[in-house]
Amino acid sequence: MHDEDRLPIPPGAHGAARPDGRCARRDAPARRPMSTSRRIVRPARIEHLPELVEFAAQGVRESGADAQALHDIRLAVSEVCANIVEHGYAGEPRGSIAIETTATAGRLVVRIEDDAPVFDPAVVPLPDTESDAEHRQPGHLGWHLVYRVMDEVRHEPRGDRGNVVILAKRIGPASAPAPGTG
Amino acid sequence: METSVDQRGGVIAVHISGSVDGLTAEDLQRVFSGEVGAGHHDLVADFGEVDYMSSAGLRVLLATLKQTRSLGGDLRLAGPHPEVRKVLDLSGFTSILKIFDTVDDAVASFG
Protein backbone atom coordinates (compact mmCIF):
# COMPACT_ATOMS: atom_id res chain seq x y z
CA MET A 1 0.00 0.00 0.00
CA HIS A 2 1.70 3.12 -1.20
CA ASP A 3 0.47 6.68 -1.28
CA GLU A 4 1.16 7.60 -4.89
CA ASP A 5 -0.01 11.17 -4.41
CA ARG A 6 1.97 12.03 -1.37
CA LEU A 7 4.63 14.00 -3.18
CA PRO A 8 2.96 15.92 -6.02
CA ILE A 9 5.28 17.38 -8.61
CA PRO A 10 5.27 21.18 -8.28
CA PRO A 11 4.30 23.13 -11.39
CA GLY A 12 7.24 24.13 -13.52
CA ALA A 13 9.61 21.76 -11.80
CA HIS A 14 10.30 19.93 -15.03
CA GLY A 15 12.44 22.74 -16.32
CA ALA A 16 15.76 21.01 -15.66
CA ALA A 17 15.12 18.16 -17.98
CA ARG A 18 14.33 20.27 -20.98
CA PRO A 19 12.93 17.19 -22.67
CA ASP A 20 11.87 19.17 -25.69
CA GLY A 21 14.12 20.07 -28.54
CA ARG A 22 16.95 17.59 -28.09
CA CYS A 23 16.19 15.85 -31.29
CA ALA A 24 13.74 18.24 -32.79
CA ARG A 25 14.76 19.60 -36.13
CA ARG A 26 14.49 23.30 -36.69
CA ASP A 27 12.27 22.71 -39.69
CA ALA A 28 9.81 20.56 -37.77
CA PRO A 29 8.57 22.74 -34.93
CA ALA A 30 5.24 21.01 -34.61
CA ARG A 31 6.71 17.58 -34.01
CA ARG A 32 6.41 16.40 -30.42
CA PRO A 33 9.51 14.47 -29.32
CA MET A 34 9.06 10.95 -28.05
CA SER A 35 9.46 10.68 -24.31
CA THR A 36 8.32 8.38 -21.58
CA SER A 37 7.87 9.19 -17.91
CA ARG A 38 7.38 6.81 -15.01
CA ARG A 39 6.92 7.53 -11.33
CA ILE A 40 7.09 5.64 -8.08
CA VAL A 41 6.59 6.64 -4.43
CA ARG A 42 7.85 4.52 -1.56
CA PRO A 43 8.39 4.94 2.18
CA ALA A 44 11.83 6.35 2.92
CA ARG A 45 13.21 3.23 4.51
CA ILE A 46 16.43 1.53 3.59
CA GLU A 47 14.69 -1.75 2.75
CA HIS A 48 13.01 0.00 -0.19
CA LEU A 49 16.37 1.01 -1.67
CA PRO A 50 16.61 -1.91 -4.14
CA GLU A 51 13.11 -1.24 -5.47
CA LEU A 52 13.81 2.48 -5.96
CA VAL A 53 17.13 1.79 -7.68
CA GLU A 54 15.63 -0.90 -9.86
CA PHE A 55 12.82 1.44 -10.88
CA ALA A 56 15.36 3.96 -12.17
CA ALA A 57 17.37 1.17 -13.78
CA GLN A 58 14.33 0.01 -15.69
CA GLY A 59 14.02 3.47 -17.21
CA VAL A 60 17.65 3.23 -18.32
CA ARG A 61 17.19 -0.20 -19.86
CA GLU A 62 14.12 0.90 -21.76
CA SER A 63 16.08 3.79 -23.18
CA GLY A 64 18.67 1.41 -24.62
CA ALA A 65 21.58 2.89 -22.70
CA ASP A 66 24.89 1.09 -22.28
CA ALA A 67 26.20 -0.74 -19.22
CA GLN A 68 28.15 2.24 -17.97
CA ALA A 69 25.12 4.53 -18.02
CA LEU A 70 23.04 1.86 -16.32
CA HIS A 71 25.62 1.47 -13.59
CA ASP A 72 26.10 5.20 -13.09
CA ILE A 73 22.41 5.95 -12.76
CA ARG A 74 21.87 3.05 -10.37
CA LEU A 75 24.78 4.31 -8.30
CA ALA A 76 23.58 7.92 -8.26
CA VAL A 77 20.00 7.01 -7.35
CA SER A 78 21.25 4.67 -4.64
CA GLU A 79 23.44 7.38 -3.14
CA VAL A 80 20.74 10.05 -3.18
CA CYS A 81 18.07 7.77 -1.71
CA ALA A 82 20.38 6.38 0.98
CA ASN A 83 21.25 9.95 1.97
CA ILE A 84 17.58 10.89 2.19
CA VAL A 85 16.89 7.91 4.45
CA GLU A 86 19.96 8.24 6.66
CA HIS A 87 20.43 12.00 6.86
CA GLY A 88 17.37 13.70 5.34
CA TYR A 89 14.70 12.10 7.45
CA ALA A 90 17.28 11.02 10.02
CA GLY A 91 15.11 8.33 11.49
CA GLU A 92 11.74 10.01 11.05
CA PRO A 93 9.37 7.13 10.47
CA ARG A 94 6.85 8.57 8.00
CA GLY A 95 8.86 10.09 5.18
CA SER A 96 8.53 9.18 1.50
CA ILE A 97 10.71 9.21 -1.57
CA ALA A 98 9.31 9.76 -5.06
CA ILE A 99 11.27 8.99 -8.20
CA GLU A 100 10.31 9.98 -11.70
CA THR A 101 12.32 9.01 -14.75
CA THR A 102 11.90 10.72 -18.08
CA ALA A 103 13.65 9.29 -21.10
CA THR A 104 13.94 11.01 -24.42
CA ALA A 105 16.28 10.20 -27.24
CA GLY A 106 19.78 10.54 -25.88
CA ARG A 107 19.02 11.71 -22.35
CA LEU A 108 17.61 10.33 -19.14
CA VAL A 109 16.39 12.58 -16.32
CA VAL A 110 15.71 11.26 -12.84
CA ARG A 111 13.81 13.46 -10.36
CA ILE A 112 14.04 12.41 -6.74
CA GLU A 113 11.72 14.13 -4.27
CA ASP A 114 11.42 14.03 -0.52
CA ASP A 115 9.68 15.86 2.32
CA ALA A 116 12.77 16.05 4.51
CA PRO A 117 14.29 19.32 5.74
CA VAL A 118 15.83 21.36 2.94
CA PHE A 119 19.39 20.28 2.21
CA ASP A 120 21.53 21.51 -0.65
CA PRO A 121 24.13 18.85 -1.56
CA ALA A 122 26.38 21.53 -3.03
CA VAL A 123 27.49 22.36 0.54
CA VAL A 124 28.90 18.88 1.15
CA PRO A 125 32.70 19.07 1.50
CA LEU A 126 34.93 17.24 -0.94
CA PRO A 127 35.99 13.77 0.23
CA ASP A 128 39.50 12.71 1.09
CA THR A 129 40.68 10.81 -1.98
CA GLU A 130 44.43 11.23 -1.57
CA SER A 131 45.58 10.30 1.94
CA ASP A 132 47.30 6.98 2.44
CA ALA A 133 45.14 4.13 3.68
CA GLU A 134 46.03 4.59 7.32
CA HIS A 135 44.92 8.23 7.34
CA ARG A 136 42.11 8.05 4.79
CA GLN A 137 38.75 9.35 6.03
CA PRO A 138 35.66 7.72 4.53
CA GLY A 139 33.16 10.61 4.60
CA HIS A 140 31.50 12.61 1.81
CA LEU A 141 32.09 10.02 -0.91
CA GLY A 142 28.42 9.59 -1.77
CA TRP A 143 27.64 13.02 -3.18
CA HIS A 144 31.12 13.15 -4.73
CA LEU A 145 30.25 10.07 -6.76
CA VAL A 146 26.85 11.44 -7.74
CA TYR A 147 28.41 14.61 -9.13
CA ARG A 148 31.14 12.65 -10.92
CA VAL A 149 28.99 10.06 -12.67
CA MET A 150 26.09 12.28 -13.74
CA ASP A 151 26.20 15.02 -16.37
CA GLU A 152 23.91 17.28 -14.37
CA VAL A 153 22.98 17.41 -10.71
CA ARG A 154 20.56 20.07 -9.54
CA HIS A 155 18.84 20.69 -6.23
CA GLU A 156 15.64 22.65 -5.71
CA PRO A 157 13.96 23.21 -2.34
CA ARG A 158 10.25 22.45 -2.21
CA GLY A 159 9.20 25.42 -0.13
CA ASP A 160 10.11 25.39 3.55
CA ARG A 161 10.53 21.66 3.64
CA GLY A 162 11.30 19.07 1.00
CA ASN A 163 13.83 18.66 -1.76
CA VAL A 164 13.96 17.87 -5.43
CA VAL A 165 17.21 16.47 -6.81
CA ILE A 166 17.38 16.30 -10.58
CA LEU A 167 19.93 13.97 -12.12
CA ALA A 168 20.53 13.94 -15.86
CA LYS A 169 22.77 11.86 -18.04
CA ARG A 170 23.34 11.52 -21.74
CA ILE A 171 22.63 8.00 -22.79
CA GLY A 172 24.46 6.61 -25.77
CA PRO A 173 22.72 5.49 -28.95
CA ALA A 174 22.67 1.81 -28.09
CA SER A 175 26.33 2.25 -27.21
CA ALA A 176 29.26 1.56 -29.48
CA PRO A 177 30.52 -1.95 -28.73
CA ALA A 178 33.76 -1.80 -26.82
CA PRO A 179 36.53 -4.17 -27.90
CA GLY A 180 36.56 -7.35 -25.90
CA THR A 181 33.28 -6.76 -24.17
CA GLY A 182 29.94 -8.39 -24.69
CA MET B 1 23.78 -9.29 -2.20
CA GLU B 2 25.03 -12.76 -1.42
CA THR B 3 28.39 -13.88 -0.12
CA SER B 4 30.28 -17.11 0.20
CA VAL B 5 33.67 -17.77 1.67
CA ASP B 6 36.40 -20.23 0.90
CA GLN B 7 39.85 -20.68 2.33
CA ARG B 8 42.86 -21.05 0.06
CA GLY B 9 45.89 -21.78 2.18
CA GLY B 10 46.16 -18.89 4.58
CA VAL B 11 44.01 -16.60 2.46
CA ILE B 12 40.24 -16.17 2.75
CA ALA B 13 38.38 -15.41 -0.47
CA VAL B 14 35.02 -13.70 0.03
CA HIS B 15 32.90 -14.09 -3.09
CA ILE B 16 30.31 -11.35 -3.43
CA SER B 17 27.42 -11.13 -5.87
CA GLY B 18 24.81 -8.45 -6.40
CA SER B 19 24.86 -4.87 -5.14
CA VAL B 20 26.99 -3.51 -2.33
CA ASP B 21 25.02 -0.48 -1.19
CA GLY B 22 23.36 1.21 1.76
CA LEU B 23 21.17 -1.81 2.37
CA THR B 24 23.77 -4.57 2.08
CA ALA B 25 27.08 -3.02 3.11
CA GLU B 26 26.51 -3.84 6.77
CA ASP B 27 26.14 -7.52 5.90
CA LEU B 28 29.42 -7.44 4.01
CA GLN B 29 31.08 -5.71 6.96
CA ARG B 30 29.87 -8.52 9.20
CA VAL B 31 31.40 -11.14 6.91
CA PHE B 32 34.76 -9.38 6.81
CA SER B 33 34.75 -8.70 10.56
CA GLY B 34 33.86 -12.32 11.24
CA GLU B 35 36.86 -13.52 9.25
CA VAL B 36 39.22 -11.05 10.91
CA GLY B 37 37.81 -11.98 14.30
CA ALA B 38 38.54 -15.63 13.50
CA GLY B 39 42.20 -14.74 12.96
CA HIS B 40 42.15 -14.48 9.16
CA HIS B 41 43.96 -11.31 8.22
CA ASP B 42 44.71 -11.95 4.54
CA LEU B 43 41.46 -11.40 2.66
CA VAL B 44 40.47 -11.32 -1.01
CA ALA B 45 37.19 -9.69 -1.95
CA ASP B 46 35.98 -11.34 -5.15
CA PHE B 47 34.06 -8.61 -6.96
CA GLY B 48 33.52 -10.57 -10.15
CA GLU B 49 29.75 -10.70 -9.63
CA VAL B 50 29.24 -7.26 -8.09
CA ASP B 51 27.06 -5.15 -10.34
CA TYR B 52 27.44 -1.90 -8.46
CA MET B 53 28.97 -0.55 -5.29
CA SER B 54 28.01 2.68 -3.57
CA SER B 55 29.92 4.75 -1.01
CA ALA B 56 28.57 2.47 1.71
CA GLY B 57 30.57 -0.35 0.15
CA LEU B 58 33.64 1.85 -0.11
CA ARG B 59 33.42 2.58 3.61
CA VAL B 60 33.38 -1.16 4.32
CA LEU B 61 36.40 -1.73 2.12
CA LEU B 62 38.31 1.09 3.80
CA ALA B 63 37.45 -0.09 7.32
CA THR B 64 38.47 -3.65 6.49
CA LEU B 65 41.62 -2.50 4.73
CA LYS B 66 42.69 -0.55 7.82
CA GLN B 67 41.75 -3.39 10.15
CA THR B 68 43.62 -6.10 8.27
CA ARG B 69 46.72 -3.98 7.72
CA SER B 70 46.84 -3.03 11.39
CA LEU B 71 47.08 -6.76 12.08
CA GLY B 72 49.77 -7.39 9.49
CA GLY B 73 47.42 -8.61 6.78
CA ASP B 74 45.69 -7.02 3.82
CA LEU B 75 42.44 -6.81 1.88
CA ARG B 76 42.86 -7.20 -1.88
CA LEU B 77 40.25 -6.95 -4.59
CA ALA B 78 39.70 -9.32 -7.50
CA GLY B 79 37.84 -9.00 -10.76
CA PRO B 80 35.79 -5.80 -10.45
CA HIS B 81 33.78 -4.91 -13.55
CA PRO B 82 34.95 -1.79 -15.38
CA GLU B 83 32.00 0.17 -13.97
CA VAL B 84 32.91 -0.73 -10.39
CA ARG B 85 36.58 -0.07 -11.09
CA LYS B 86 35.57 3.41 -12.20
CA VAL B 87 33.94 4.00 -8.79
CA LEU B 88 37.14 2.86 -7.09
CA ASP B 89 39.12 5.20 -9.29
CA LEU B 90 36.84 8.22 -8.78
CA SER B 91 37.05 7.67 -5.03
CA GLY B 92 40.83 7.42 -4.95
CA PHE B 93 40.72 3.79 -3.82
CA THR B 94 42.92 2.50 -6.63
CA SER B 95 45.86 4.20 -4.91
CA ILE B 96 45.38 2.39 -1.59
CA LEU B 97 43.88 -0.94 -2.64
CA LYS B 98 45.60 -3.70 -4.59
CA ILE B 99 43.34 -4.86 -7.40
CA PHE B 100 43.81 -8.02 -9.48
CA ASP B 101 42.05 -9.40 -12.52
CA THR B 102 41.29 -12.76 -10.97
CA VAL B 103 40.85 -14.33 -7.54
CA ASP B 104 43.74 -16.69 -8.27
CA ASP B 105 46.04 -13.75 -8.95
CA ALA B 106 44.92 -11.98 -5.80
CA VAL B 107 45.39 -15.09 -3.65
CA ALA B 108 48.81 -15.78 -5.20
CA SER B 109 49.91 -12.21 -4.48
CA PHE B 110 50.00 -12.98 -0.77
CA GLY B 111 52.88 -15.35 -1.53
Domain count, chain A: 1
CA B73 to CA A55: how far, in whole Å? 40
Spatial contact of A151 and A44, defined as CB atoms under 8 Å apart? no
Question: A179 lies in a domain?
Answer: no
pLDDT in tens, A168-177: 999 875 444 4
Give chain A's mean pLDDT.
80
pLDDT 10s digits, A147-167? 999 999 999 999 899 999 999
Instruction: Return the percentage of chain A with pLDDT > 70, whole number.
Output: 75
Q: How confident is the model at residue A18 (pLDDT cuts 50, 70, 90)?
A: very low
pLDDT at site A173:
57
Whether residue A18 is contained in a domain is answered as: no
- Comparing C-alpha atoms, which of B1, B81, B24 is closest to residue A66? B81
CB contact under 8 A, B91 and A145: yes
Shortest CB distance from B96 goes to which of A136, A145, A149? A136
CA distance B10 to chain A (A): 23
Q: What is the pLDDT of residues A86-121, one digit of tens each?
A: 999 986 777 999 999 998 878 999 999 999 999 999
Asked whether residue A51 is domain-assigned, the answer is yes
List residues bridging with A113 in a β-sheet. Answer: A98, A164
Confidence band (pLDDT; 50, 70, 90) for A34?
low
Residue A10's pLDDT is what?
Answer: 40
For position A171, what pLDDT does the model report?
Answer: 85
Chain-centre distance for alpha carbon A36: 16
pLDDT digits (tens, 9 = 90+) for A66-88: 889 999 999 999 999 999 999 99
Q: Which stretches in chain B have pLDDT values below 70?
A: none
Contacts of A135 (CB under 8 A, 6+ apart): none
Q: How many CA atoms lie within 13 A of A104 on its CB side?
A: 14
Which residue range is the domain that position A95 belongs to?
35-170
Choose, out of A66, A141, A150, the residue to mutate when testing the contact with B (most B CBs < 10 Å).
Answer: A141
For A78, the closest of B21, B65, B81 (CB atoms) is B21
pLDDT of residue A7: 52
Banded model confidence at residue A29, pLDDT cuts 50, 70, 90: very low
Comparing CB atoms, the residue among B52, B53, B69 nearest residue A133 is B69
Provide the shortest C-alpha distance from residue B93 to chain A (in Å). 7
pTM for this predicted structure? 0.84
Among A72, A74, A129, the residue with its CB nearest the CB of B91 is: A129
Cβ contacts of A132 on chain B, cutoff 8 Å: 96
pLDDT band per the 50, 70, 90 thresholds, residue A21: very low
Q: Do A47 and B58 touch (CB under 8 A)?
A: no
Residue A101 belongs to some domain of the structure: yes
The domain that contains A41 carries what CATH number? 3.30.565.10
Domain assignment of residue A59, yes or no = yes
Alpha carbons A137 and A129: distance in angstroms, whole number: 8
Residues on chain B touching A134 (C-beta within 8 angstroms): 66, 69
CB atoms < 10 A from the CB of A114, how many? 26
Got the DSSP string for B47-109? EEEEEEE-HHHHHHHHHHHHHHHHTT-EEEEE---HHHHHHHHHTTGGGTSEEESSHHHHHHT
Indicate if ipTM > 0.95.
Answer: no
What pLDDT is stored for residue A90 in this prediction? 86
Q: Which of A67, A82, A133 sits opposite B54 (nearest CB)?
A: A82
Give the pLDDT score at A11: 38
Per-residue confidence band for A60, with pLDDT thresholds at 50, 70 and 90: confident
User: How many secondary structure helices (H) and strands (E) does chain A include?
Assistant: 3, 5
Has residue A144 been placed in a domain?
A: yes
* Contact state of B19 with A149 under an 8 Å Cβ cutoff: no
- Cβ-Cβ contacts under 8 Å, A88 against chain B: none
* Residues of A whose CB is below 8 A from B83: 67-68, 71-72
Asked if residue A155 is part of any domain, the answer here is yes
A149 found inside a domain: yes
| pLDDT value, residue B32 | 98
Interstrand relation of B11-20 and B42-53 (parallel, antiparallel or unpaired): parallel
Q: What are phi and psi of B103, to 5 degrees?
A: -65, -40
